[in-house]
A = this chain, B = another copy of it.
């Protein structure tokens, strides 16, 4: 690609002057609507002089980014129509929704979906009034916005969402406007590298339009204030071919934008044709556009003697304090009339036919694209039988296996059956996480340079369907974009560092919760997050790698979309993964470690157990036919093992002690049924956990989470939870457990302390158990490992 060419403005003039006038009129209509929705609650077409009572009391919304968004939208419409190009639109500048809602309304989709906002004066009144108004719609491209898969409430994910949408959609163009404010965020800054993961044969194209709007809410933006050459170098360094469209004169800008878009689309087609004809997928240098326009373009130039257009003052509402400055009502009217609404809308309040004709039709409208309502396109996965990977478990707690290893084989089979709509995501760790079986059918996508040694175990391929990049943000963004456009996936990541995407989890959960209330949004596949390399096996990586607190973030979101599973062994994990891959509109969090762990349930038992989500393990209990003295609970792989080992110890020391052993897989079973759809009824809960016996609950995560879920349960006062308490240095696994008191000895001591009749008889046992703990630590510090007999403990028979 010639750099000089890519930097210079395009000299072609694809638009006739009539076409420029028509497109400009369409754009004026957009700008009029954008301003109208910020200001007006009545008199939407200015059929009478503007008065205070036509104007909303509280002025909300963001004008600044809107004209640029509409400008891009209107020009994309030309491309779609002329080239029969399928496209969707992603608006990075979240608050700029007026710039998106306006063209969505003008092309008719809004009225089709929401009949009250019809294409006439009445409908326009409703359309204006509802914007950023109580009971109405938000100032972002919320799920209510037709054509949106990206709300932008939190900034930084527009490009990664765009790439997710483009994957496996070879005919699709995803146009994504990136705000120059958003561009300062970390997630956005690295997401430019997504171009190294786009296969020109099987994927669609992403066309980023970096909107140099110049200002954030109160400051200039960095990218608007570096030399043009530097910005061009940055984009080229990211691997893009930048094209600049800069200016403020609408007519000249229309011509420039049209020429540039033509050029970009030509380049995209050329890249795709070359790859598709040759069958050679290599990394391409895709085009992108830098669109530099004044902030609040076409808005009031000056208000109260201060520059507004082209400054941060037009970020939100450019003309405000109308009550204190009644003359501004006139200024507002002048501004609104500058768009000449009378020329744009007919008597009924409908966009005039000449302009209406400019928009694409039917499903080609970006606002009506089924890709942006992905549930419509979603095909359920073709599912292999997970039971084929069952672990043989002749006796519970006797053999060990890597819990995630068979999951890798299952995912491989899922992949093999769904090679066009399933992807696996992970930050450089799928092998480390023992999911590498998947590479047998699909390798890691790699389009950047290859070296000879890659052939030897690199598992890289230009058509790989496993995506690995050391950015949880980018992976999660891709995954969300992929799922929101109707496909399926699976994301495995390190437990401690899943906190990196706490905020993305929050935002996606909110998107789903709202989407469930919107009848026209078809359900999409769930996000499946495997949390592995968990805290209890980070003994050697140390304190920074120990953090099971993502679950505490998860539980705060809407119960309709949140699910947490802690399968204790291979068969439970397989069943859980199968269940999650079939589910819709949820975020499934599966916690399972990758190391060798004891196996407890054969496949039939696992299915029964996981279907219930919580249950008594009879083989580990000796309270049959009566009330137990104590309830021992394991939740999570390692905590379950330690709880079992404690149970075995106690039964050895106190053969008469009646212990009920419970395992919890589905964490939300702990919550009352009124609070979460998976919650156990109080009756069932009481019958499992008793109403008055001590419960020793050994939990995978921070212990308080269990109290937060179960504080209203009858027997809560007897609930004693052990979990991670931020105690860890460099340890052995058992030493780490001891530090946090989730180990077998501490649990057994807990039981002795809590069961009244053991408090005297158990005193000497407690001393022995304490000695065991000390001995464990001594052994660890001497040998660097746990004593084999303790590490390799199995359930006695």
Task: Give chain A's interface residues, CB within 8 Å of chain B.
Answer: 41, 56-58, 60, 94, 132-140, 142, 151, 153-156, 181-182, 184-191, 193, 196, 216-222, 225-227, 230-239, 306-307, 310-312, 428-432, 444, 446, 448-451, 453-454, 456-460, 468-471, 473-474, 496-497, 499-500, 502-503, 506-507, 510, 513-514, 539-545, 547, 549, 552-553, 555-558, 702, 704-705, 707-709, 711, 716, 726, 729-732, 735, 777, 780-781, 783-785
Indicate how many identical chains form the complex.
2
Asked whether B239 lies within 8 Å of A237 as measured between CB atoms, the reply is no
Q: Which residues of B contact A552 (CB under 8 A)?
A: 552-553, 556
**Residues in B neighbouring A460, C-beta threshold 8 A:** 219-220
- Give Cα A133 to B155, complex, Å: 42
Closest residue on chain B to residue A61 by CB atoms: B540
User: With A711-B716, A726-B556 as given contacts, are A544 and B140 in contact (CB-CB < 8 Å)?
Assistant: yes
| A556 in contact with B549 given A133-B730, A186-B186, A784-B56 (CB within 8 Å) | yes
The answer to whether B186 touches A473, judged by C-beta atoms less than 8 angstroms apart, is yes
Q: Do A540 and B237 touch across chains, with their CB atoms under 8 A apart?
A: no
Q: Which chain B residue shows the least CB distance to A704?
A: B708
Q: Are B542 and A139 in contact (CB under 8 A)?
A: yes
B226 and A236 form a contact (CB under 8 A) = no
- Whether A132 pairs with B540 at a CB distance below 8 angstroms is yes
**What is the chain B residue whose CB lies nearest that of A137?**
B730
CB < 8 Å neighbour of A153 from B539, B542, B553: B542
Contact assessment for A222 and B234 in the assembled complex, using a CB-CB cutoff below 8 Å = no
B236, B474, B556: the one contacting A702 at CB < 8 Å is B556
CB distance A218 to B432 under 8 Å? yes
Which of B133, B219, B468 touches A428 (beta carbons < 8 Å)? B219
Q: Establish whether residues A220 and B139, one from each chain, have CB atoms under 8 Å apart when the complex forms.
A: no
Q: Give the chain B neighbours of A730 by CB distance below 8 A.
A: 132-138
Inter-chain contacts of A94 with B (CB < 8 A): 544
Nearest Cβ on chain B to A95's Cβ, whole angstroms:
8
User: Distance in Å from the Cβ of A7 to the closest Cβ of chain B?
Assistant: 12
Candidates B216, B311, B312, B542; contact of A140 at CB < 8 Å: B542
Is the beta-carbon distance between A448 and B222 smaller than 8 angstroms?
yes
- Smallest Cβ-Cβ distance to A727: which chain B residue: B558
| A726 and B58 in contact, given A139-B542, A429-B218, A552-B552 (Cβ under 8 angstroms) | no
Question: Which residues from chain B contact A188 at a C-beta distance below 8 Å?
Answer: 186, 190
CB contacts (< 8 Å) of A470 on chain B: these are 155, 181-182, 184-185, 216, 221
Chain B residue nearest to A216 (CB atoms) is B428
Contact call A193/B219, Cβ cutoff below 8 A: no
Smallest CB gap from A470: residue in B? B184
CA distance A556 to B555 in the complex (A): 14
**Taking the nearest CB of chain B, how far is it from the CB of A321, in angstroms?**
16
Contact B196 A190 (CB under 8 A): no
